[in-house]
Structure 1
């Protein structure tokens, strides 16, 4: 028996066994696997943090605090993908795209999704109380306005806002950011408008807690996003033109947080547009 035959007859050791299956795939495309795993983990962590806060597993502040880290993980995945492609080109190797490409797409989409929120935060003031009437906002009776509503209003050290009290700063920031949020006139009696407002609120899934068509008053709570944030809404209708028309004001206030990312203004715009059919600002 020659030496080659003896070598072939020797038992295969653990170190000489061919690598097969998932481990072989991982070794053939490590950067693709790493990119995809990080991208998917970032997305799962994001929605997990939000959902966990929404069902009470942890506080909303903890959930929000985790979100920047998920963005960082997705960004790292995207960087790994870019470096991997550049490295393959430098080594004149063909890039394995299935895993790498999928991970890069997920990472890019997720980073873009978070970037849109960051742009919104940067472009809008950090306020959470939106109303059509800055001088005389509708007041809650069944619901309670949050105790810290006028705390942490930005601008105390700003040159243009310095010297104004929190409510004055809020009104100034509100007017600059949302000049279109105004009282509207509807050619229907107060009671009819409030009844219609009640139906619209219920259609949106809001929890209507107080409605009085005769006095032109409605209060409700809207629950939004996976965090299940709650925003309180009050609608006020006042008679105009001897009762044949109504002047409608609306207020939407976030229960927690200092920046609502424009959610309350969006709610007011859409609701009043639906309520009046074609929203017309009151004169």
Structure 2
């Protein structure tokens, strides 16, 4: 009995050593694959980890966003290593080891494509963060506070077509050009009913309803979005039309931080008003 136990105890270190040797050999035999795989996976983990950490308050949102471009660069480096390695293998007539290299390449491509979609949105939309259906008379916050720097950093100061405009005028011009479909809507329901329906829709979306007054046609709420848990403030205004039988609805959605909202506020306004009215009809 003791001799069997001695044999097993003698075998275990040997097996462990063989396993470690096998792993090292695998790493030595496929350094390119391991490099691409590790960099690609680490890029994705750091990207979402930085956003999540900012969202739960481990660091500021600026620090979280600052890390993101570097994750894209790392993924691009992994992709370049994969491409160069494959080309060299072909030139030297070597067999390419695909398992790790293939996974790393696919992860890098997918991640770069994911980031590219955001980059395209960033380039195609103006750097504004305040979206409303009524540019001349936006709904006003009363329970919530409009950010102090709301009209700072509005693009267009160097644009010859907007020369002489103040920040709010530039904002209205950029807004109209980018989101011409964001307009007041008419709903064939009294003001109080519309606001009550708006409250239910806001709660269904998980928004924090801060203030609601059906009689005066006013609702304010806060939406929390993305892993960063950004806060966007929303105000909805309903005004009576046709002797109270219908309502004209206006909505405003403003990001609390940042300059560019990547179209998030416009998307929120479109979807909410569409759901609120069933079939959205622009007010005349």
TM-score in terms of structure 2 length:
0.93
Q: 2:249 aligned with 1:252, yes or no?
A: no
What does residue 222 of structure 1 align with? 223
Distance change (3 Å), C-alpha of 1:245 and 1:266:
same
Cα separation, 2, equivalents of 1:155 and 1:63: 28
Q: 2:70 aligned with 1:72, yes or no?
A: no
Superposition pairs of residues 5-84 of structure 1, within 5 angstroms: 20-84=21-85
Q: How far did 1:94 drift?
A: 1.1
- Number of residue-to-residue matches in the alignment: 267
What does residue 278 of structure 1 align with? 279
Q: How far did 1:162 drift?
A: 1.4
What does residue 6 of structure 1 align with? none
What does residue 191 of structure 1 align with? 192
Aligned to 1:195, the other structure's residue is in SS state helix
Q: How far did 1:157 drift?
A: 1.2
What does residue 13 of structure 2 align with? none
What does residue 149 of structure 2 align with? 148
Aligned to 1:20, the other structure's residue is in SS state helix
What does residue 242 of structure 1 align with? 243
Aligned to 2:49, the other structure's residue is in SS state helix
Aligned to 1:279, the other structure's residue is in SS state coil
Q: How far did 1:18 drift?
A: 11
Structure 1 alignment gaps of length 5 or more? 1-16
Cα separation, 2, equivalents of 1:43 and 1:236: 41
What does residue 102 of structure 1 align with? 103
What does residue 172 of structure 2 align with? 171
What does residue 130 of structure 1 align with? 131
Cα separation, 1, equivalents of 2:150 and 2:99: 51
Cα separation, 1, equivalents of 2:163 and 2:60: 34
Cα separation, 2, equivalents of 1:22 and 1:163: 68
What does residue 261 of structure 1 align with? 262
Cα separation, 2, equivalents of 1:65 and 1:161: 31
Deviation string 1:220-263 (CA, Å, 9 cap, x unpaired) is 00000000000000000000000000000000000000000000
Q: 2:103 aligned with 1:119, yes or no?
A: no
Aligned to 1:249, the other structure's residue is in SS state strand
Deviation string 1:150-195 (CA, Å, 9 cap, x unpaired) is 0000001111111100000000000000000000000000000000
Q: How far did 1:22 drift?
A: 1.3
Q: Aligned Cα RMSD in Å?
A: 1.1
Q: 2:86 aligned with 1:85, yes or no?
A: yes
Cα separation, 1, equivalents of 2:131 and 2:145: 16
Cα separation, 1, equivalents of 2:64 and 2:162: 32
Please state which structure has a larger fraction of its residues in helix.
2
Cα separation, 2, equivalents of 1:19 and 1:237: 70
**Any runs of at least 4 consecutive aligned residues in structure 1 with deviations exceeding 4 A, and if so which?**
none
Structure 2 alignment gaps of length 5 or more? 1-17
